[in-house]
Amino acid sequence: MNYFLTDEQQFIKEIAAKIAREKILPIRAGLDESGEFPWEIVKVLADSNLFGVYIEEKYGGTGGGVFDLCIAVEELSRVCGGISLCLAATALGTFPLILFGSDAQKLKYLPDIAAGKTIVAFALTEPNAGSDAGAIQTTARKDGDHYVLNGTKQWITNGGEAALYTVVAMTDKARGSRGASTFIVEKGMPGFEFGKKENKMGIRASATRELIFQDCRVPAANLLGKEGQGFIVAMKTFDASRPGVAAQAVGIAQGALDESISYARQREQFGKPIISFQGIQFMLADMATQVEAARALVYACARAIDAGDTKVAKESAMAKLFASDVAMKVTVDAVQILGGYGYMKEYPVEKMMRDAKITQIYEGTNQIQRTIIASHLVKEQAGKKS
């Protein structure tokens, strides 16, 4: 289908696909086994200017937006959903700065992010605060021209590898979610350490670690926005970043579909390729239709964000929900089509199935996405009656 990409967007798609094919494909299985962070791919992406596709030109980016980011993430994820996160998770950590940062903060940090010199992470989740973001326990106490952070963050993508962290902490616990604030924390600041690196089912080439703050002193100048805006920062960030997760899911699903078609054409049973059997054809047809529908929803949402639509929470949730559910279904079907071979690590679809699962969980579980969508439907209906 022609999605009417600009010349620049077509170039992003082609260069990301080339990197995925030539650089990521040869190392994906090894990094999946070892769990090593893909620093060599970070350098390749940096040299290709892909870290700056969603950042304004005046800060060193190429001036694109969420849609350009989704194109790149999708193509990289088509080969490896884990490796693609070095880019996608950096964008997640950068969106708070783009949306709420001061000019001084943007000038200080965005050029190195756009150049791929600085990897970023977003730190909201805690041991007892996942979907319930208002339950975070990490605190930030004002002390002169600094804030003192104490607490632990859990399951932070790019954790330990990133040089920069956007961290949500409570500046006033008595106010609940309205007492949260967001800070820019640099790796190496005294009192900021890392806990265990998680041993995950999927996306194993992506680092996931605990962040530990023990009297970590952060300059007051590193407060993003105002005190008490932390929950708003997080929600607006997710509105912008969820299409990126959805694009990752679309890419994983497309990669699984590609592998399924290729295998079905080569595998023979009963004297003919299994792609000639109607049962397999119907599975492939459903998989292809689901992937295309997910892609269309993701692209539409990303374009709306780039056009300046600020009321995209429902559509962003829809894109993440639908695309990740499609990724899970398509990868499971891919394993089924490959049969016993699909269950073996020699073939990539079992990895794609493992990678797909997290897209239904992080940046808000799909149960939370359905809650968001439903709440907006209720508000819209109430608005029509009033």
Positions marked catalytic: 363
User: Helix H segments across 20-84?
Assistant: 28-34, 39-47, 66-77
Q: To the nearest 10°, report the CA torsion of 108, 113, 118, 121.
A: 100
DSSP code of 23? I
Whether 261 and 291 have beta carbons less than 8 Å apart is answered as no
Given the DSSP bridges, would you call strands 146-157 and 139-143 parallel, antiparallel or unpaired? antiparallel
What are the start-end ranges of the E strands in the chain? 120-123, 139-143, 146-157, 164-170, 180-186, 192-197, 208-219, 223-224, 268-269, 272-273
- Rounded Cα–Cα distance for residues 368 and 41 (Å): 33
Percent helix, strand, coil in the chain, to 5, is 55, 15, 25
**48: closest CA among 26, 31, 72, 84?**
72
What are the Cα distances from residue 123, in Å, to 182, 185, 212, 245, 282? 9, 10, 11, 16, 43
User: What residues contact 359, with CB distance under 8 A and at least 6 apart?
Assistant: 81, 245, 246, 248, 249, 252, 320, 323, 324, 327, 328
Structure tokens at 233: 């920062």
Query: What is the separation of C-alpha 218 from the centre of its chain, rounded to a whole number of angstroms?
Result: 26
What value, to the nearest 5°, has the Cα angle with vertex 158 and ends 150 and 219? Answer: 40
CB 328 within 8 A of CB 357: yes
